[in-house]
Amino acid sequence: MVSFTVIGESSSDHLARKIASKLKSKYIGCELRVFPDGESKITLKTKPKGKIVVVHSVYPPVDSNLVRVLALVSQAKKYSSEVYVVIPYMGYARQDREFLPGEVVTMSLVAKMFKVAGATRIIVVDIHSILALKHFQIPTKNVTAIGELVKYFKRLHLKYPLVVSPDMGGVERAKNFANMMGVDYIALEKHRDRKTGEVIIKSKNHYEVRNRDIILVDDMISTGGSIVKAAEHLKKQKCGKIYATCTHALLIGDAERKIRKSGVTRIVSTNTIPGKTSMVDVSPVIVKAIS
């Protein structure tokens, strides 16, 4: 059996420990000190051995967490020629191309930084855009949490459930989720203004949602705008209970309050980002990708 050492920092400590346990490997924590000017100083509690797995999500504060994971990778490289970097939530994945003239494709720079820092392999979970991974010049693997989320919902006693994607871009995700659940799915037609961020549901009546429990499926929930608009639209169609589920629950600001106010009964996410909605563990799919 390959010998691994798993390194985790506070942003992903709980998930990192689960990964280490499943790999039957040593776990090394870190001490994090943030100076008054915002600088981060990280100290490994002991020296790692063997192949190293660094586990660290890049969620808000995104820039700080990005620098921290790069620092850990750089330190890990001093002890091992093989450094696997598990980034459960990859910040900047939405900046994978030039949407408007003059926009910087920041994901391209992020990919280069990981290689320079010493990463030899990258593992992410349900990255927002597969195109983002094409910027990396080292092996990458995107694993999905859909199967683990489906297991959670199968344990609930839902009334004639229907899987709904809040936009057409998530059709494939909703289809896969529905197929694993053994239920039907639909997708709403959404328009988002790229400059203002305003979301409008263009779909008309959906009579098939009447009296059915809804599972709104997305890869991430950030401000909650799309989920709120979708929930309000579905409520007008006389649906049953609405559950919002995603892999990554950023829930910026008062997003959670807005979502619940719109009629969503429960928000279910994974532990790629720790929080009170992270009810589903993704360590099994990550460990499978590592080993």
Whole-number CA gyration radius for the chain: 20
Determine contact, residues 55/86, Cβ cutoff 8 Å: yes
Both tokens of residue 125? 């979970």
* DSSP-derived secondary structure for 241-265: -EEEEEEEE---TTHHHHHHHTTEE
The two most distant CA atoms of the chain are separated, in Å, by 60
Collapsing DSSP to helix, strand or coil, 14 comes out as helix
Q: What are the φ and ψ backbone dihedral angles of 273, each rounded to 5 degrees?
A: -130, 115
For residue 67, give the nearest of 41, 86, 47 by alpha carbon.
Answer: 41
Q: Confirm whether 190 is a catalytic residue.
A: yes
CA 260 to chain centre: 20
Annotated catalytic residue: which of 151, 190, 229, 288?
A: 190
Q: Which ranges constitute the DSSP H helices of 13-126?
A: 13-23, 62-77, 106-117
Q: Write out the catalytic residue numbers.
A: 190
